[in-house]
């Protein structure tokens, strides 16, 4: 494979028109950008050199990463699907690159695109695949006082939401479930359920329906099984 090197935003970019690979979809784009990880500076996780191809349409969706091994053979490893892309960073300072990105499973879920929630995901290369790095994703649980303060703000927003009788079986401020997702994806599922309980007005009867649909949507994420592990969430992990 002959690739032409050029410079783009300070990164080494390799371009070749109309590249064909059974695991890559080029679509209308005649040029494909290759972002090379320099094997002398970085390792993905096993010391071998890898090539990461960034593919995207540029129209709200999508930016996908195609990972190839380029040592003795040119071998496809994995497609990582994203909506708004991500960044490869050496978060541990050991020369291995983690991918910091967002889960877009709740995109346009009961809200306009401007308010889409994008909970953070950190992927680590392990056993020839990028998987959630739960250790790096874990954050300290918020205090009871912090939850009470946020719940008070969310509860006040319920009064200003108008229900569409043709489409809405329940109404809730998007800010509430955005925060719930941030808590769940940082190993604080118990705090997410507590926040919902504290935020939901007593006279609003739709909390059970909201939680049912919220959990159903959460389970569609390809990362759900990882973030729902009891070792990450503790006793709050949701039972399927």
With beta carbons less than 8 A apart as the criterion, state whether 3 and 34 touch. yes
pLDDT at 90: 87
Q: For 135-171, write each residue's pLDDT tens digit.
A: 999 999 999 999 999 999 999 999 878 766 666 778 8
Cα–Cα nearest to 87, from 97, 77, 74: 97
What residue spans define the domains of the chain? 4-102, 144-236
Q: In the block, which residue shows the tokens 């990972």?
A: 67
The token pair that represents 21 in the structure block? 């690979």
Cα–Cα nearest to 105, from 229, 224, 208: 224
The token pair that represents 43 in the structure block? 């390792």
With beta carbons less than 8 A apart as the criterion, state whether 109 and 75 touch. no
- Of 7 and 76, which is predicted with more confidence? 76
With beta carbons less than 8 A apart as the criterion, state whether 232 and 134 touch. yes
Q: In the block, which residue shows the tokens 């690739």?
A: 3
Question: Over 90: is that where the pLDDT of 119 sits?
Answer: yes
List, in sequence order, every residue forming a beta bridge with 100; answer none if it has no partner: 87, 122
pLDDT above 70 as % of the chain: 72
Q: How confident is the model at residue 27 (pLDDT cuts 50, 70, 90)?
A: very low
Q: In the block, which residue shows the tokens 């003795």?
A: 72
pLDDT at 57: 57
- Of 178 and 26, which is predicted with more confidence? 178
What are phi and psi for residue 28, nearest 5 degrees? -80, -10
Q: For 31-81, write each residue's pLDDT tens digit.
A: 334 444 443 334 555 666 777 777 765 555 667 788 887 777 777 888 888
With beta carbons less than 8 A apart as the criterion, state whether 123 and 101 touch. yes
Question: Over 90: is that where the pLDDT of 82 sits?
Answer: no
Helix (H, G, I), strand (E, B) or coil at 106: coil
């Amino acid at each position: 494979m002959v690739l032409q090197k050029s410079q783009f935003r300070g990164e080494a970019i390799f371009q070749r028109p109309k590249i064909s690979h059974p695991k890559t979809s080029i679509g209308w784009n005649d040029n494909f950008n290759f972002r090379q990880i320099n094997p002398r500076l970085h390792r993905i996780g096993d010391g071998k050199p890898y090539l990461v191809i960034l593919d995207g349409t540029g129209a709200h969706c999508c930016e996908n990463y195609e990972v190839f091994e380029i040592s003795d053979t040119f071998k496809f490893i994995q497609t990582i699907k994203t909506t708004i892309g991500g960044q490869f960073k050496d978060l541990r300072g050991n020369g291995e690159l983690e991918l910091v990105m967002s889960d877009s499973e709740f995109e346009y879920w009961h809200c306009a695109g401007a308010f889409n929630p994008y909970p953070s995901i950190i992927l680590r290369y392990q056993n020839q695949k990028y998987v959630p790095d739960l250790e790096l994703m874990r954050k300290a649980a918020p205090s009871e006082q912090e939850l009470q303060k946020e719940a008070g703000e969310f509860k006040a927003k319920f009064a200003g939401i108008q229900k569409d009788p043709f489409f809405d079986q329940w109404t809730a401020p998007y800010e509430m479930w955005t925060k719930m997702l941030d808590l769940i994806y940082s190993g604080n599922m118990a705090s997410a359920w507590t926040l919902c309980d504290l935020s939901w007005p007593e006279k609003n009867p739709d909390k059970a329906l909201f939680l049912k649909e919220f959990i159903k949507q959460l389970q569609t994420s390809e990362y759900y099984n990882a973030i729902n592990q009891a070792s990450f969430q503790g006793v709050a992990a949701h039972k399927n």
